[in-house]
Structure 1
Amino acid sequence: MTKHARLSALVAAAIAGVFAFWGGWARRWMSDDGLIVLRTVRNLLAGNGPVFNAGERVEANTSTLWQYLITAFGWLTGARLEDVAMWLALIFTVAAAAVATYATGRFWGKVGPVIPLGIVIYLALPPARDFATSGLEWGLSLLWIAVWWAALVAWASPLRRRAPQAGYFLAFWCGLSWLVRPELALYGGVTGILLLAYSPRKAAGILAAALPVPAAYQLFRMGYYGLLTPHTAVAKSASDSEWVRGFEYFWDFVGYYWLWLPVMAAAALVGWMLRGTGGRRLAIVLVVAGCSLVHVLYVLRVGGDFMHGRMWLLPLFALLLPAMAVPYTRIGAAIATAVVVWACVTVVRAHPIDWEAYQTGEKELGIVDEREFWTLAVGRELTDPPRYAEDFLGSKLMQNWQEAVSDGAEADAAQLNLAYVSADPEIYRWFYRDREERETDLSDLPMTAYLINLGMTSMNAPLSVRVLDTVGLATPIAARMPRDPDGRVGHDKQLDPAWQAADTDTYLDGLPQFISTLRAKQARAALRSPEISELLATSREPMSWDRFWANVRYSLTDGRTLQLSPDPGVYIDAETRRAIRRGEDPGLEGPRIAWPVEAGSGK
């Protein structure tokens, strides 16, 4: 790499970093899903373990490393967790943009000076700037991809310029992929095969660098949580196919921005520049392109997401890696100029959302601009999005939340419930339900609240309050329910209110009329059935060596396949059904499904 080429790569990387910081800072915010991550962090800092609710071992976050990084920096700095998450995400995004651009400049070093291209395409997209913060792991994921690319470039360098340990570092980095986001294991796994194919004699060293960290955590996950994957994969049924929705999600992103134009231009330029190239240099470009396209197929298959553009950001960033910076030629300069024009139009044009249609009920929520959705949902101006947990108290669903939590705690209530009070003006109110008079193991369950929006409730409640969602991110029972084929992607499971009440110490004979007491008692009895009681034991029974190894076995059997029926009647026998019809509550007895909970308070 010549001196001029190295200097141009550094300049391109600096430009990429500056624009990544400017774009992310200008659009900084906190999402409800980001608050979900912070609830686990609060429990970690309070000594309750990597759980969403104290006493229930549920891995409610997709990225393992992200929650532990926030925990570490939160502990070191003592800063507000929202600020820690925002700064880490932004710094990682900036670093990813700079590292990826410089690595591509190094890749083209023999050709001559380089100019930014692919990074301009990426940063012009509104979702790319929105998810530079948000509290989610997108910045960390981008940084993993950027360093992966830089390590590939170093590994593909001529032998005289290649660091002796380049392959081992690349193997170690690939091993971390699964802990950043599960789908990044595709990139890490294919790269591992590439390393073994080129250096079969170093197989032992490559495997020793790649496997110990992810293997150790995988064993921990299986024994602690009773699952092979994060719980989010179970809740979202990530193994199912939703191709039609996936293509709708694809066109919602690619079609509006005319994204195919700059991407195809960049791909054509890279293809032309690679003519005559072979060996490792061509191999790493093929690996990057192949992994990115398979990642695209995966997102199409699972039906995409409900957040506009979010799931396309990682495969797009990866696909653009060889074009992040391109050699300065007449053709390259012409394409770069056209891309800059496209980028300016895209930034100004943004993404149109007909919010009035959503607010009036004329249109159901589907794929939305998540940042603007939450900004309007909590009653703020579009220029002032939510950034802290208390900002979400402006939501119509949170109007008396803090008061209800306080009153419920004072009354030692079993459950908090949300009620629709008025249509004009639209008013929702939280109220509490009393506990059963008879003391059972269910008496050990803390006061419980259910809401689909898990982040804003959990981060505005003490850790002693058990906060669950109706779609299964933190609720094993809901996660095992069948998907609603007409439901919103990512929110297409719904735990019936009868099941919700059953899995608490709520006095079932005092339920409101819209909840069937008969069905709730059937559900409570169903919780004691062998299938469901063992499911609950994997997360609730106090940890021991016996429980750990039982969970490992469960993760390989029912943990992979168990799906529940929404009808609790299928889990109980005729005698139990007759007892319920007589007004009894047989679900108060049977195999233990709840244990005492001691929750550290933390912040």
Structure 2
Amino acid sequence: MTTARSLTTLSGVISAVVVAALGFYGGWQRRWMSDDGLIVLRTVRNLLAGNGPVFNAGERVETNTSTLWQYIIYIGALISGSRLETIALWAALVFTTVALFIAAVATAKLYQGNNRLLLLPFGGILYISLPPARDFATSGLEWGLSLLWIATWWFLMVQWVEDARLRWGIKYSYLLAFCSGLSWLVRPELALYGGLSGLMLLIMDRKNWWKILLAAIPVPLAYQVFRMGYYGLLVPHTAVAKSASGSQWGDGWFYLMDFVTPYHLWLGVLIAAAAAGLRVWNATREASISVNRRTVVIGLTCGAALIHFLYVLRVGGDFMHGRMLLLPLFTLLLPVSVVVIDRQRIPTTVAAAGLFIAGMGWSFATVLGGHPYQLPEGDEAPLRIVDERIFWQLATYRDQPTRYAEDFLTARNMNNFVPMLEQGRAAHDAQLFQIRLSQHPLVLSWEPRPRTTEHTDLADMPLSLTMINLGMTSMNAPLDVRVLDNMGLANPLAGRQPRVVNGRVGHDKNLPLEWQVADSAVPLDAVPSWVDKAYVKRAREILYTPEYQKLFASYRSPLTFKRFLANIKFSLGAGRTLQFQEDPAAYQGPLPVVDPLPINWPRDIKLDPVR
């Protein structure tokens, strides 16, 4: 006969299975690939080819925010030999599914000692009902991995509440310490979560402090030393390009309203808060030896999520609808991943059942309502926040969302990209420029320009091109083509520009075309007519000044042990603070004209392996 306690456990497992199944179905139904997701895959291609963890061979630039995500795709490619887009899609979707399952199981374990409870799926269903939550269950980005880390972190903290041990005697607290240390390598802002849980462990288990540090520190410390020596930075280069040093609360509030309004999300949050409040009220009437630890864990989880939420608002949000608010929202819902029906307390049972029905009603309405989106009218209409999945489907004139790199070739700004790129490679040209064939209607194309015949270090620069949409260009180009962007994700010159006042969040840096041409093998007499030659000439001279030379050496010069040590020093000094001005007139004084130090070094570029 099934006991009451086993029924509680069984209902928790069933709840986890239900929410995981719904999450998998919802994510699969909306599967797609984003342009930003393709950026990750370019680095994986270079890893597979043997060029190292770089975006452009010969330039040590870390363009991916999540360190672990790129290596997970890399390992998947080594094992399966499948297309990178397919590996990224399946990994993200499976991670999201497992995260929803673990979150529900972990929350159910908080109630496993009570033999009269029935558990129903709740918080995970509220989360996955949101269109952006299902969109970013794939997309090629690390959101699935981030959810999995958060869910695992939550599960380990619940095990710590009970002071649980693995079968071979290792305490879960040490696994929690290890997980906390990995947070920085999943996404930098998750260090907030890992830091708080690590601090909690050190305070609550002071006598074993050295074991906790031994579990938490070695892996992230080893990678941090590697990052400083290899890339010359303390943080991923994306953090330099998207510097969060200023406050943009107004933009953050606008971003929040863009997320909340279409789904009446405030109502879903109120229902979840009421469910949490009901559970807290019931908990005050229950005696438990672990109630203090449980309170600490739940408080820490919600506190970390709220701080994360405020951080997103402070930096101005994002340019993708809902994306940056998904992780703190998922975390806030963890304590109510399941809703509790206490079969021996009729009033609270009725209240809990009512909240469950209300939550499922809101979720159902949210799924049905979706998120209607249209492209802004007019070619010059500003883009602020977009529904990225629908945006790229419309911008590529497709009946289905983009899923592979070649799907983006039908976008207007990719017109003639592949044939003109191949023409430029065949002629050993220097730069591929985007050109405008007509204004009304707007028709774009590409045009290669020849390479300098002068014996300078820039003459060995690979065929280069620049476009803000870094993923679609880089994944449709061979690895011997240098692909850059004007806002700095792959271009340190652009990443160290001052922020554009009132610029689009996440796209508020811009390197003028003249600087891009200056840092290429294009001779002055081949500069296009719409580019200021005098500006290019002056900019090219400025590139050889000491502060620029130090930057170029940090990520372009051959990696020797001496360079590795120099990069560590650079990362602690100028690597943190160096900024440039876009106006050449801002650089005064004599410039070197005789035997200047190089800013470009020969590179051995390996192409994609034949698979």
> What TM-score range do you get, normalising by the shorter chain?
over 0.9
Partner of 1:581: none
C-alpha RMSD over aligned residues = 1.6
Q: Distance in 2 between matches of 1:574 and 1:168?
A: 58
- Per the alignment, in what secondary structure is the counterpart of residue 487 of structure 1? coil
Alignment check: 8 A CA contact 1:523 1:569 kept: no
Q: How does 1:299-378 map to 2 (within 5 A)?
A: 299-328=312-341, 329-355=349-375, 358-361=376-379, 363-378=381-396
2:562 alignment partner AA = D
Residue from 210, 225, 228 that aligns with 1:219? 225
1:179 to 173, 185, 196: 185
| 1:54 aligned onto 2:66 | no
- Asked if residue 235 in structure 1 is aligned to residue 248 in structure 2, the reply is no
Amino acid at match of 1:378: T
SS in 2 for 1:2: helix
1:525 and 1:572 in contact (8 A); partners too: no
Match of 1:143 in 2: 148
Once the two structures are overlaid, the 10-residue window that deviates more, 124-133 or 563-572, is 563-572
For residue 398 of structure 2, what is the aligned residue in structure 1?
380
Q: 1:437, 1:572 → 2: CA distance?
A: 29
**Mapped contact 1:108–1:326 kept (Cα < 8 A):** no
> Would you say the 8 A contact 1:529–1:572 is kept in 2?
no
For residues 401 and 159 of structure 1, the distance between their equivalents in structure 2, rounded to whole angstroms, comes to 58
Residue by residue, what CA displacement relative to the aligned partner does 1:337-377 show, whole Å, maximum 9, x if unpaired? Answer: 1111111111111123232xx14247421101000000111
Q: How does 1:43-192 map to 2 (within 5 A)?
A: 43-111=46-114, 112-157=117-162, 164-192=170-198
- Of the structure 1 ranges 164-173 and 218-227, higher mean CA displacement relative to structure 2 is found in 164-173
Deviations 1:357-399 (A, max 9, x none): x142474211010000001111102xx1110011110111111
Deviations 1:163-196, CA, capped at 9 Å, x for gaps: 7511000000101000000000000000001001
CA deviation profile, 1:299-357 (whole Å, cap 9, x unmatched): 011111000000001000001000011112322211111111111111111123232xx
- Measured at CA, do residues 325 and 413 of structure 1 come closer, stay the same or move farther in structure 2, by a change above 3 Å? same
Amino acid at match of 1:478: A
Within a 5 Å distance, the mapping from 1:521-540 to structure 2 comes to 521-540=537-556
Secondary structure of the structure 2 residue equivalent to 1:274: helix
CA distance in 2, matches of 1:460, 1:361: 24
Q: Quick check: 251-260 or 143-152, which moved more?
A: 251-260
Q: Per-residue displacement from partner, 1:510-565 (whole Å, max 9, x unpaired)?
A: 32232111111111111111111111111000001111011101111111111111
Q: Pick from 28, 40, 43 the counterpart of residue 40 of structure 1.
A: 43
- Alpha-carbon displacement from aligned partner over 1:392-450 (angstroms, at most 9, x marks no partner): 10111111111111110111111001011113332111001112221211012100010
Does the 8 A contact of 2:396 with 2:412 survive in 1? yes
Q: Deviations over 1:455-480 (max 9, x none)?
A: 00000010000000010000000000
* Letter paired with 2:398: R
Q: Aligned equivalents of 2:533 and 2:127: distance in 1?
A: 53
Contact 1:522–1:572 (CA under 8 A) maintained in structure 2: no
Tell me the SS of whatever aligns to 1:354: coil
Which letter maps to 1:342? W
Contact 1:452 1:471 in 2 (8 A): yes
Change (3 A) 1:284 1:408: same
Q: Structure 2 residue aligned with 1:295, among 308, 327, 338?
A: 308
- Rounded to whole Å, the distance in 2 between the matches of 1:435 and 1:186 is 48
How far apart, in 2, do the equivalents of 1:450 and 1:551 lie?
Answer: 26
C-alpha distance in 2 between matches for 1:362 and 1:232: 27
Distance 1:575-1:296 versus aligned 2 partners, 3 A rule:
closer
Preserved contact between residue 545 and residue 591 of structure 2 (Cα < 8 Å)? no
1:400 aligns with 2:416: yes
**Residue 295 of structure 2: which of 262, 265, 282 is its match?**
282
Further displaced range: 515-524 or 358-367: 358-367
d(CA) in 2 for partners of 1:415 and 1:110? 67
Given that 1:526 and 1:572 are in contact with CA atoms closer than 8 Å, whether structure 2 keeps it comes out as no
Is the CA contact 1:45–1:71 (under 8 Å) kept in the aligned structure 2?
Answer: yes
Question: In structure 1, what is the Cα distance between the partners aligned to 2:208 and 2:118?
Answer: 35
Q: What is the distance in 2 between the residues matched to 1:30 and 1:120?
A: 23
The one-letter code sitting in structure 2 at the alignment partner of 1:4 is L
Following the alignment from structure 2 to structure 1, what is the Cα–Cα distance between the partners of residues 500 and 246? Answer: 12
Alignment CA distance shift 1:25-1:575 (3 Å): closer
CA drift of 1:495 comes to 0.8
Aligned residues: 589
Please say if 1:485 is aligned against 2:501.
Answer: yes
Contact 2:453 2:459 in 1 (8 A): no
The secondary structure found in structure 2 opposite 1:113 is strand
Structure 1 CA distance, aligned partners of 2:147 and 2:49? 30
Q: Could you list the per-position Cα deviations for residues 76-103 of structure 1 after superposition, in whole angstroms to 9, with x for gaps in the alignment?
A: 1000000000000000000001110111
Tell me if 1:449 matches 2:455.
no
Work out whether 1:566 is the aligned partner of 2:582.
yes
The Cα shift of 1:597 comes to 1.2
| Deviation (angstroms), 1:268 | 2.6
Shift of 1:575: 6.8
Aligned partner letter, 1:153: V
Q: Tell which deviates more after alignment, 76-85 or 360-369.
A: 360-369
2:453 to 434, 437, 452: 437
Do 1:501 and 1:508's aligned partners in 2 also have CA atoms closer than 8 Å?
no
TM-score, structure 1 as length reference: 0.95
Secondary structure at the counterpart of residue 433 of structure 2: strand
Q: Tell me the distance in 2 between the aligned counterparts of 1:227 and 1:122.
A: 35
Structure 1: 5+ residue stretches without partners: 577-585
Using structure 2 for the length normalisation, give the TM-score.
0.94
Tell me the residue number matched to 2:208: 202
User: Equivalent residue for 1:583?
Assistant: none
**Paired letter, 1:114:** L
Measure how far apart 1:567 and its partner are: 1.3
Deviation at 1:159, TM superposition (A): 6.5
Q: Which residue identity lines up with residue 283 of structure 1 in the other structure?
A: V
Rounded to whole Å, the distance in 1 between the matches of 2:478 and 2:331 is 40
2: CA distance, partners of 1:160 / 1:502:
60
Pairwise CA distance, 1:198? 0.6
Whole-angstrom CA distance in 2 between matches of 1:420 and 1:482: 28
* Cα distance in 1, alignment partners of residues 325 and 436 from structure 2: 36
Residues 393 and 161 of structure 1, relative CA distance in 2, 3 Å threshold: closer
Could you tell me how far apart the structure 1 residues matched to 2:165 and 2:607 are?
Answer: 57
Aligned partner (choices 418, 425, 428) of residue 412 of structure 1: 428
Q: How much does 1:589 deviate?
A: 5.2
What are the superposed Cα offsets for residues 113-134 of structure 1, whole Å, 9 maximum, x if unpaired?
A: 2101111110110000000000
Write the deviation string for residues 263-292 of structure 1: whole angstroms up to 9, x where unpaired.
122123223312427410000000001000
Structure 1 vs Structure 2: percent identity of aligned residues?
51
Partners of 1:8 and 1:115 within 8 A in 2: yes
Label 1:160 to 1:53 Cα distance change in 2 as closer, same or farther (>3 A): closer
